Each structure stands twice: as structure tokens, then as C-alpha cells.
Amino acid sequence: MSLYQPLSLINGQWVGASSGATFDVINPATGAIVEKVADLSADDCKAAIDAAEAAFPKWAALTAKERATILRRWFNLITEHTEALAELITEEMGKPLAEARGEVAYGASFVDWFAEEGRRIYGDVIAPHMADKRILAIKQPVGVVAAITPWNFPLAMITRKVSPALAAGCTVVIKPSEDTPLTALAVCELANQAGMPAGVINCVTGMDAPAIGQVLTGDSRVRKVTFTGSTQVGKILYRQCADSVKKLSLELGGNAPFIVFDDADLDAAVDGAMLCKFRNAGQTCVCANRILVQSGIHDRFVEAFSARVKAMKVADGKTEGSEIGPLINADGKAKVEQHVEDALAKGATAVCGGSPHDAGPLFYSPTVLVGVTKDMRMASEETFGPVAPIYRFDREEEAIALANDTQYGLAAYFYTEDLSRTFRVYEALDYGIIGVNTGIISTEVAPFGGVKESGLGREGGPHGIEEFLETKYGCIGIKL
């Protein structure tokens, strides 16, 4: 059986657009058409909501253990198909195959975690306010959930949202990015093979994302929307959800600072910066977007870091040893070019890179810029590419002020060997996620999410399942 169908999944069936329309999925490394996928209209997507609504009562009525059994089978199937899924991720969005394998493992970990976490949804017995009353608080699934997911982690961003929803007893409608629908469809096919009842998971593909988004946010039967993507689109969805007062989780843009203090372990800081900046060619919301280095260690850090960056292998993600794949599309590459050109024009210097790479039309050379200042575009906008801008600072207070000088607040990182500084800076940084002496912070067991214009809610850990539950209070009168 094929790992996926180039069709949408609605009520357990693979269906095409009512118009018969399709769209092309393009390999960004080669420009080749990977597949033609069903291009559903907004009206077509209403059938997915119908299916999710119809399936909800029976799915919610299952015991947590029964739901966990299906989720565990899903986890096992994802793990068994790691290589095929990784190849599919690389083919449709370009990340190196080694990173794609890591994404499959990361994505599967959420299914594993929430299969168990669903069995720990506890209520409360509350001390009553009157002798003839008893007070209970129970937690129940919110209902139908719409999950709108991005292209940069086409598997993990689905499982991070869908697994807690399913474990809580919700049913879901997934709208994957039009750039990377195939991974979503493959994961849904594995859910079918795991025995997921018809209508519990639905996946709609289509190019008209705004119209489909309006259907998902405008339908009162959808009680929860969870979205990962740009802050601009997140604000639109926020407004659209207001009319029906839906529960909402938003994981939006970032402008992550990566601070290296004079007392840092230099080698560890360089290692962390490499992982944090260049994973997925810099196309992640938690990538280091601004590297702030204290004056006493600045020159040594730049020298060591630049040497590592110059040695990186840029190639199609399927090439052995590839470390930097292509950018997702022409718009993504254009933004990177504009940010670098703006910085160079305003006085920055390229230590390495600074131009497109000859590996293909959508490749950009890993770049290190020094002399970057806060009046440059990349200081306030998310570059989303393999560009490492380095800022110099003198005092701890200056670094904190620079780091917090943004409307975003998703992830921040810093390196220091001073325990007192660790707590001062950790508490002072206005971000939802802080990495201290590490450049990798994502895990299924911890709450992932931002503050300010980086979003609402948390994904992962025990906090993640709470986003898909409602608390119901019962006041019970008794006879004494």
C-alpha cells in the first residue's frame, strides 16, 4: 500500500477536489514536480468539518486507554517508516536527510508522549463552601479542532498539535502547508493503518489557504484552532476566531537572540550557535536570528564560528553529508538576499558568504556578518535563512536590552559559566523559551510557546494537552 495518496482525507476516505483541480508540489532543490495533489476549495473543506463533528461523540466516549492504544500503534508505524518519511520530507521541502530523520523521531515522540499523557487528565474534588454541597471539576475535550501547520517541519508540527488533541478526545481537521502536503498525507495514512476511526483525523489540501482558513475559523462547530506560522497570518486568524470565541493556540514568528558572554565556554558556544542557527538552513522559528557577543570574546568567537561556517556542505538534502539545503521558495530566498544587501549597505561586513550559492536557484551560501546594528532590517525582521548576523555588546544590561528590543518573544539563548548571571538573565529575558548553554531546546516533554507577538498557548509537556480541554464545574447539593 502506498504511504500516501495525492488526495485529501475526509471521513476515512481519500477524495479529490469537487472541481477535479490539482496543484504541483515542487522539490525546492531540483525544481522538479514531486506530485500533483488535490486542490480542494473552501466549500470542499466543509465536508471535513462534518466528518469531524460526526466522529467526535464516539471518540470522546472512548476511555483514555483505548485512545492511547491507537496512538501507540500510530507511533510504532511512524517509527517503522522513518526512512520513507524522511525521504519524503527532504524531497518536498529540502532539508538534509539526516535532519529529516531527526524530525521523524521528534514528531513521533509527541505521539508517544501524549498517548500516555491522555491517561493523566485529572479533575478535582474541591472543599465545599457549604455543608450540603459538594464541588467537582472535571476536564472534557473541547470538540472539533482545526490544525493549520507550516512547511518547515511538515511532520512534527502536525503531531505536536494533533497528538494532544486526539489524546484529549478531540477530532481534528488538518490544513497542511501547500508547499509540503505529502508528508501530512503520509502521516494520516499511517493513522488509518493504526486503526484511527473514520472522521477522527481529516486532512484537507488546497492552494487557497485564506479561503480554507476562513471556513475553519468561521464554522462554529470548530471549537479550537491551533496554528503555527507567521505573526501576520496569526493575527488574521485571531480576528476571525473572535466571532465564535474559539479557543486558540498560536505559535508565531520569532527574533531569537543568542547571547555569548565573556565568561562563556567558547567551544560550547560555537557548537550551540552552529546547531541553533543553521538547522534547516536557518528556516525555523527558534533559530538564532541575532547573535550578540560580548566584546571580550567577540573576535575569538567570530574567528572560530566563521571557520565552521565556511566548511559547511551546501547541497541537495539527499546528497551524502549535506548540511545546508535549499530555501523553500523564491520568496524565501529573496527575503534573505534583501536582508543581507540591506545590512551590507548600512555598514556590515560579510566574513563569509553573503551571496547565493551555485548549488541551485534556491540555495544561499551560509553567511556570517559582523558590524551589524539595530537599524538594519534583520535586527527587527525574521530572516529565515542561513545568515548569522553578529552584534557586539559591552555590558550585561546592554545585551538584555538589545535582546528584549523586539515585538517577538519566542526563544532566546545565552552562554555563561556564571551561576548568578544564569538566573539574572534567565529571569530578565522576555521570552517563552530560554536555552542556557545549549542551542537545542525542542522536546516533547516541555512547554513550547512564546509571549508578546510570538503567540498564545503552549505545545508539548503536560501543558500541551490542557490546550484541548475545557474545565466543567459541578456544584452538587446533597441531603444531610
Catalytic residues: 251, 285
Distances 60 to 10, 144, 203, 248 between C-alpha atoms, Å: 19, 11, 19, 20
Q: Which residue has the cell 502536503?
A: 181
Supply angle C-alpha 448, 28, 93, rounded to 5. Answer: 25
Please list the helix, strand and coil fractions of the chain in percent, rounded to the nearest 5, in that order. 40, 20, 35
> Within 10 A of 48 (CB to CB), how many other CB atoms are there?
30
Residue type at 251 in one-letter notation = E
| DSSP, residue by residue, 403-454 | HH-SS--SEEEEE-S-HHHHHHHHHHS--SEEEES-S----TTS-B--SGGG
Cα atoms found within 13 Å of the Cα of residue 226, Cβ hemisphere only = 29
Q: Which amino acid is at 153?
A: F
Kindly report the number of other CB atoms within 10 A of residue 358's CB atom: 9
Cα–Cα distance for residue pair 198/11, rounded to 1 Å: 5
C-alpha cell at 73: 500503534
Contact criterion met (CB below 8 Å) for 202 and 11: yes
Sheet containing strand 433-436, strands side by side:
349-352, 367-370, 387-393, 288-294, 256-260, 411-415, 433-436
Any residues with CB less than 8 A from the CB of 182 and at least 6 apart, and which?
4, 6, 25, 34, 35, 37, 88, 91, 92, 154
- DSSP codes, 341-409: HHHHHTT-EEEE--SB-TT-TT-B--EEEES--TTSHHHHS---SSEEEEEEE-SHHHHHHHHH-SS--
- Per the listing, cell 567577540 goes with 298
Q: How far is CA 11 from the centre of its chain?
A: 26
Distance in angstroms (rounded) separating the CA atoms of residues 272 and 397: 22
Neighbours of 120 (CB within 10 A): 10
d(CA 119, CA 68): 8
CA 68/CA 70 separation, integer angstroms: 5
